[in-house]
Amino acid sequence: MKILSVNAGSSSLKFTLIELPSREVLISGLFEKIGMEGSCYTIKYNGEKTTKEASLPDHSVAVTKLMDELIENKVINSLEEIDGVGHRILHGGDEFTESILLNEDILKRIEKYNELGPLHNPANIMGVRAFMKVLPNVKNVGVFDTTFHQTMKETEYLYPVPYEWYEKYGIRKYGFHGTSHRFIYKTISEYLKRDDLKVISCHIGNGGSLCAIDSGRVVDTSMGFTPLAGIMMGTRSGDIDPSIIPFIMKKTGKTADEIINDLNKKSGLLGVSGISSDNRDIEEACEQGNERAILANKMYAQKIANYIAMYNNLLNGADVITLTAGLGENSKGMRKMICERIASLGVKIDDAKNDFRGEFRLITKDDSKIPVYVIPTNEELMIALDTMELIS
């Protein structure tokens, strides 16, 4: 069965064609600057990466061009070989508690949550409609970032604000990165052959979130009403005192929207270091003795460690801690800093085991009270698996 796993942005379309159940990636790529000048796309096939310029006035044209590439590269002989298309959708509110087959009525229901995910949801839906237009006979499935977190209890997902805000406006914690956290839990559970694990899943990349999971059910997660909450990230502030917002508005004359933009795009590692949101740049500056880069790195590791400690308490003792995404998978320095800051939990990092990038590995000593695993995430595969299950 051939499943396309798709993540559509406002001017982009990321795709992976996966053969199931073998899980073989047949081809992948990214269409960029859709509807803009200088549009192009990159295809990765047979270990080679090729970039081509192309006129891409809208997502439907990009999808048509994608179909042409699949046939020209002989990945498929006809469009009938595509069995399903799975779409990453950011926000399903508290209405969509699992992945779902998509049609126009469902899309209109999803659109109600566009105001909760204004940068992503409209683009995700645009991508779905483009595939529906080009491949009218192929089933489409929506896989939401928020669904995995819908098992949280009221004590965790409600904010201590007037209850009517929740009743009237849906003000609550939704959580994100759910597809990644679900994949990580599924992977470690299968590896350890246990379905009752208590796991602290740490998705730490340019965007980051932690998730406390007990026997496959989310107990709590660090992102909240929006992805701005939780730990410090590449350009996002994470948790701050909300009174800072009106204070800075008065001091600078900026609007609330401008301040929120600063908290989303000019804060975090970038804001503290003044250098970059990319941890590779931060680590290089640290090696050169840049004090603000060193400060940013220490703050980042400590924020993550604080959440791990809190979630360990919430779970009444975690069985496993997992690290994934850009930094979790590739930065041995950041992994070490985090583990050193949770030594009080009995975590003991093994420097020799930790000396690698991008692999599934245990990085703690045999006598570490809580084992820490690095697990490369694969949201595309999780989307494809959900799609296969629903269209079958």
Q: What residues are annotated to the active site?
A: 145
Strand partners, 15: 6, 29
Please state, in angstroms and rounded to a whole number, the distance separating the CA atoms of residues 358 and 322.
Answer: 13
CB distance 345 to 312 below 8 Å: yes
Cβ atoms of residues 57 and 38 within 8 Å: no
Type and span of the H or E element at 319: none
Which residues lie across from 321 on neighbouring strands? 200, 372
Are 229 and 267 in contact by the 8 Å Cβ rule? The answer is no
Rounded to 5 degrees, φ, ψ at 33 are 55, 40
Beta strands in 196-340 (DSSP E): 198-204, 208-214, 217-221, 320-324
| Dihedral of alpha carbons 56, 62, 68, 74, sign | positive
Question: Which is nearest to 308 in space by CA: 224, 184, 221?
Answer: 221
Sheet holding 13-19, edge to edge: 48-53, 40-45, 24-32, 13-19, 2-8, 82-89, 139-144, 100-101
Tell me, what amino acid is at 104?
Answer: E
Asked if 279 and 269 touch (Cβ cutoff 8 Å), the reply is: yes
Q: How far apart are CA 374 and CA 184, in angstroms?
A: 10
Specify the 3-state DSSP secondary structure of 276: coil
**Residues 6 or more apart from 199 whose CB is under 8 A from it?**
184, 185, 188, 212, 213, 318, 319, 320, 321, 322
